[in-house]
Structure 1
């Protein structure tokens, strides 16, 4: 009986939860036009979470207000913006150019076959 009550509470609590890169960063709430955002800045990256229930089906409908809000809070120019209509991530250009995009670490899982004194076969798959 407790589970049906808990699910809506968890869903609402997750609406303004920052991504892992921004956990522990206090948000700055700002209004830009009809949109209200929580902006978090960490180094030369920023995250904007739209809080108001304004209908927005695409990033393009809230992208400009999000960029303006991020630039106001960070003091830097937005170089790149990605995400969706609810949560956006930006790369900031603070005068030294935007940082290089983060490269995802590659991990390999390997299997060895027919190993003997002459060698064998090693097959690796990225994951």
Structure 2
């Protein structure tokens, strides 16, 4: 039993561990729709780690929420997105972006759909 705990416990602890490029960067927790992410930004790159369980999520379904979380935390426009439904990475263009979120550690965000393919993201600090 100890052997099994010794094998699986470190694996479970790594579920929210950032990639080596983002070690030492404090995460900002953002909830958008039914997804919650820890977002880390380092220069022109961002990482979003999805924290909540979702039944069989596809990358195409989770990616827009992860992308919005990274854009909102960084204040930058996303140029490229890659990864999977659990961990997403983005290249950012910070030349002309949206205003970043004030420095706090957790936000609840709602996606307001607007016609023409555009949407507003409304974020409030979690108390």
TM-score, L = length of structure 1: 0.71
1:68 aligns to 2:72 (yes or no)? no
Give, in angstroms, the shift of residue 63 of structure 1: 0.4
Instruction: Determine the structure 2 residue equivalent to 1:2.
Output: 2
Give distance in 2, aligned partners of 1:91 and 1:16: 20
Give distance in 1, aligned partners of 2:6 and 2:34: 31
Instruction: Determine the structure 1 residue equivalent to 2:78.
Output: 78
Is residue 22–residue 41 contact of structure 1 (8 Å, CA) maintained in 2?
yes
Instruction: Determine the structure 1 residue equivalent to 2:32.
Output: 32
Instruction: Determine the structure 1 residue equivalent to 2:51.
Output: 51
Is residue 50–residue 86 contact of structure 1 (8 Å, CA) maintained in 2?
yes
Give distance in 2, aligned partners of 1:55 and 1:34: 11
Consecutive unaligned residues of structure 1, counting only runs of 5 or more, are 97-127
Instruction: Determine the structure 2 residue equivalent to 1:19.
Output: 19
What is the Cα-based RMSD across aligned positions, in Å? 1.6
Q: Secondary structure at the match of 1:24?
A: coil
Higher relative contact order (CA 8 A, sep 6+): 2
Flag the structure with larger Rg: 1
Give, in angstroms, the shift of residue 58 of structure 1: 2.4
Instruction: Determine the structure 1 residue equivalent to 2:41.
Output: 41
After alignment, is 25-34 or 51-60 more displaced?
51-60
| Corresponding residue pairs, total | 97
Deviation per residue, 1:55-107 (Å, 9 max, x gap): 244211100000111111000111110000000000001117xxxxxxxxxxx
